[in-house]
Chains A and B, each alone.
Chain A
Amino acid sequence: MNKKFLGVMFVLLLAAGGLFAAGQEEEAAGKVVSLKAMTIGPGPVPVTRAKNLESAAEKLKGEGVNLDFEVTFSTQKFEPYRTSFSLAYRSGSAPDILSEDQDIIPEYAEEGMILPLDSYLNTTAYKKDYDDFLPGLWDAVSWKGKTYGIPIEGVVNCIFYRKDVLRKMGMSDEQIERTFSPESKDFTLEKLVELAKKAKKAGLVEYGFTHRKGAGDYWFNSVMMFGGRFVDEATGNMIIDTKALRKDFEFHKMLVDEGLLPPDMASWDWKVIHKYTVEGRTLFWIGGHSGQWKEYQEKEYHEKLGKLTEEYLQENIGIAPFPGVGGPVTPVKVHAYTIVASTKYPDISFDLIARASSPELLARHAITTFRGPTRKSVADLPDFKAQAYLSKVLKIMNYSRAFPKHPALGVYKTMIFEAMSGIETGRLSVDAAVEFMKAKAKADIPGVIIE
């Protein structure tokens, strides 16, 4: 028989076999502790999530741990990041430490993919640190009574308003300050709408409000604004709060009908959305979070000015919480370090993330990203104090409201966005949208409660 031919086939089979076996090499179990971590932006800004871990690893090495540490930082979106983590976990090549937003914690906790940290957090050695975290944040990273992560940042959702437009409407700096102060009686949704109408009528802006596109956290903010509930405390099941949803839908429909909100926001380009904010073509940008302050300084959204300076932003843009039914609301989404269940070294992993969330490192993170700090003592550090904007962020964090927690939250968020895009483009009436929410929730979310 032909040897060459057999040779070719053999090589082919070998190649096929090689493909199957292309797994990952087994870690040599020596004295060296090797840890891997996966962190995510998304986007290049929050790279300190990875750098802080590296700094902490250096510290641990200084303490005599023979550590071999490797961290990856993904600037991509969450979806591919989560998929690659899940599949790496399934194939036994998961990292030891994972940085994630709070919203995935219930899902990973239910699947047993991340470790509860209570046995470490409740020690006397950690007590002082534990109490230093802002209230409510530990709750944000817990699920069914167990805590799964150390909060390293709060993404502070807020309203950006244009001071320059308000000044042109005849308001003094003092008046503006007073109107948008969360303590003021004047700070209501009605007042915002009234201002928007006035600005639009005077031809100072193209729109009163702009919000984000796609299924993002804004859709929770707006339901929270109308006092909506998401999760039933007793059963842990999801709630579809039709009353709040209806108000939310009616509010957006009213904005579109009055010409205060573009009807096709869902198909706007991101760069255009940001452009409208930085160029003052809209009075209120309500779809964002405090970290965008940084983005406006680093990216050329403004057609004439390009990157904006801190001075320009301070002069022309202010931030405020959302006006809610029972007072202002600042929805805060927590980003946390978690420990992956498959790790061989849970103790050292915890030591590492505890050191990576020291006040000094968290201050560094807050200063480079303009997102909210998670520990009280951060506010006392001189570097942090030097940032005028960050103290404003801290101020509105007084009205923090934790994001809801449920594995089906992503599905719910998408549903609200879909219904809203139907309403805003005039394809769906408010009634039909509420019916859609009910029916789809029943079909897609197990155990859902319709209120």
Chain B
Amino acid sequence: MKKLIPYFFLLPLLLLILLFYIIPAVSTIYISTTDMGRSLRGDLVGVKNFARMFSMEDPVIGRVLINTVVYLFGALAITIGGGLVLANATFSLGGKTGGFFRLIWFLPRATPPVVWAFLWIWAFDPTKFGLLNMIFRNVGLAERSWMSLYPMLIVILANGILGIPYTMTILSAALGNIPTEVVEAAKIDGASGWQTILKIKIPLIWWPLSFLTIWHTLAYLTTFQYILMITGGGPFYASTPLALYTYQKAFQNMELGYGSALALVLILLSVIIIFAFRKLLGVQRET
């Protein structure tokens, strides 16, 4: 009886893991081999869905894959680069000023997703009530239709900036852990500000930096809700990465079978990344 006690404690956890991780993962494989539609009934069609994807029979899949890469690297650059710059700057400023900036840059994290999306929709609204158009008008420039001109840039910015608070917080903490003597010694040796950052600080925070990169790679590969809300992936697939395409195929066209085949690719990619970097993701266990 005593041996069973731990499992009673674990039961609810295991139940939810079973229902929301294991069964769905297995079901995805099953659904991807059917032509399931709106009524959640489907006939087995074998590898047809995969053939459709890999043979590039689907004329937009190529574009979608390119978008995925552009979006991933764009958003990563902003999240990691922005986080690094802000962490360094606020750390160097220190005290209340640094804290103030960090507080403001924490706002996106505390903003619910729909509000965050709304801020961007409103900022780039093509009508005269859009924020950017308002500014443009006030300085005498012409109003523009931002959403159809730069859809990809807008969604990269919206997602990339959203990652900054997290990277900034973690990197600041990591910078705080660097012994001051190391930096001082470098300065005495005549290293400039940039050199200390590049040669001393970055190697010392290499570990959290790589962790954050993997973490956000997984996130940007698979999240789509901000793009769904801000541009809807358009115009003409200009801002549709694979994750959004999967969602749209499944829940807007109700092609759950094909959607699952697309999702399976993302699942496999994620699992590969996770296993390849399991050590890195599990830093906490080592410490």
State yes or no: do A and B come from one complex: yes
Task: Give the B-binding residues of A (Cβ under 8 A).
Answer: 1, 5, 9, 12, 16, 79, 82-83, 86-87, 89-90, 107, 111, 113, 262-264, 266-269, 272, 410-411, 414, 418-419, 421-422, 424-425, 427-428, 435-436, 439-440, 442-444
Map CB proximity to A onto B233-259 as digits: 1 under 8 Å, 0 otherwise.
Answer: 011111000000000000011100000
| Selected contact of A267 from candidates B1, B8, B145, B237, CB within 8 Å | B145
Asked if A89 and B39 sit within 8 Å, CB to CB, the answer is yes
Asked if B38 and A266 sit within 8 Å, CB to CB, the answer is no
Q: A90-B39, A267-B231 are in contact. List 10 more A-B contacts (CB 8 A).
A: A86-B39, A86-B40, A87-B40, A90-B40, A267-B145, A268-B126, A414-B253, A419-B236, A435-B59, A440-B59
26 A-B contacts, Cβ less than 8 Å apart? A9-B8, A82-B38, A90-B39, A111-B39, A264-B126, A267-B126, A267-B148, A267-B231, A267-B234, A268-B127, A410-B253, A411-B253, A414-B253, A418-B237, A419-B236, A421-B234, A421-B235, A422-B235, A427-B235, A427-B236, A427-B238, A439-B59, A440-B59, A440-B60, A443-B52, A444-B58
Bound state CA distance, A12 and B8, in angstroms? 11
8 nearest A-B residue pairs (beta carbon): A422-B236, A439-B59, A264-B145, A264-B148, A421-B235, A267-B147, A86-B39, A443-B57
Asked if B8 and A5 sit within 8 Å, CB to CB, the answer is yes
Bound state CA distance, A266 and B234, in angstroms? 9
Asked if A263 and B145 sit within 8 Å, CB to CB, the answer is yes
Asked if A436 and B8 sit within 8 Å, CB to CB, the answer is no
In angstroms, how far is the closest chain A Cβ from the Cβ of B55? 9
Bound state CA distance, A435 and B254, in angstroms? 24
Interface size class of B (residues with CB under 8 A): 20 to 34
Interface of B is mostly: loop
| Selected contact of B234 from candidates A83, A418, A443, CB within 8 Å | A418
Bound state CA distance, A442 and B52, in angstroms? 11
In the assembled complex, B11 has its CB within 8 A of some CB on chain A: yes
Asked if B235 and A269 sit within 8 Å, CB to CB, the answer is no
In angstroms, how far is the closest chain B Cβ from the Cβ of A302? 16
In angstroms, how far is the closest chain B Cβ from the Cβ of A234? 25
Closest to A90 in B: B39
Bound state CA distance, A90 and B37, in angstroms? 12
Closest to B144 in A: A264
| Selected contact of A443 from candidates B59, B126, B231, B252, CB within 8 Å | B59
Q: Assess A9 versus B11: contact at CB under 8 Å? Given A90-B39, A90-B41, A264-B126.
A: yes
Bound state CA distance, A1 and B40, in angstroms? 45
Closest to B238 in A: A427
| Selected contact of B15 from candidates A16, A267, A425, CB within 8 Å | A16
Taking CB atoms, residues of chain A closer than 8 Å to B234 are 266-267, 418, 421
Closest to B2 in A: A1
Bound state CA distance, A174 and B98, in angstroms? 73
Of residues 212 to 245 in B, which have CB atoms within 8 Å of A's CB atoms?
A: 231, 234-238
Closest to A267 in B: B147
Bound state CA distance, A272 and B41, in angstroms? 41
Asked if B57 and A442 sit within 8 Å, CB to CB, the answer is yes
In the assembled complex, B12 has its CB within 8 A of some CB on chain A: yes
In angstroms, how far is the closest chain B Cβ from the Cβ of A15? 10
Q: Assess A264 versus B147: contact at CB under 8 Å? Given A90-B39, A90-B40, A421-B236.
A: yes
Q: Assess A83 versus B52: contact at CB under 8 Å? Given A268-B126, A269-B125.
A: no
Taking CB atoms, residues of chain B closer than 8 Å to A440 are 58-60
In angstroms, how far is the closest chain A Cβ from the Cβ of B48? 11
Taking CB atoms, residues of chain B closer than 8 Å to A442 are 57
Bound state CA distance, A410 and B147, in angstroms? 25
Q: Assess A12 versus B145: contact at CB under 8 Å? Given A86-B38, A418-B236, A427-B236.
A: no
Bound state CA distance, A442 and B41, in angstroms? 23
Bound state CA distance, A269 and B59, in angstroms? 29
Closest to B252 in A: A79
In angstroms, how far is the closest chain B Cβ from the Cβ of A95? 15
Asked if B15 and A87 sit within 8 Å, CB to CB, the answer is no
Closest to A407 in B: B37
Taking CB atoms, residues of chain B closer than 8 Å to A82 are 38
Closest to B41 in A: A90
Taking CB atoms, residues of chain B closer than 8 Å to A90 are 39-41
In angstroms, how far is the closest chain A Cβ from the Cβ of B125? 7
